[in-house]
């Protein structure tokens, strides 16, 4: 990453109000997605995200 997480949060907080639970998408470096080293999500894959004191979200990938 070009900027570390603390720097990204500092920079964003200079121009907007950040609230608890806000997500900051940083993306991935160029070429990571197409490198072939990591599989793409496919039909039936499950993605689950959990944040303490906020809850859990579970999504199942499907074609369509």
Each residue of 9-35: pLDDT tens digit? 999 999 999 998 899 988 777 777 777
CA atoms of 13 and 45, how far apart (whole Å): 35
Per-residue pLDDT at 17:
96
Per-residue pLDDT at 37:
76
Residue 46, pLDDT above cutoff 90: yes
pTM summary value: 0.46
Residue 39, pLDDT above cutoff 90: no
């Amino acid at each position: 990453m070009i900027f570390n997480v603390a720097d990204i949060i500092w920079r964003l907080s200079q121009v907007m109000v950040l609230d608890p639970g806000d997500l900051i998408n940083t993306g991935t470096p160029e070429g990571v997605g197409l490198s072939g080293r990591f599989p793409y999500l496919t039909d039936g894959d499950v993605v689950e995200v959990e944040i303490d004191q906020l809850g859990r979200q579970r999504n199942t990938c499907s074609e369509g």
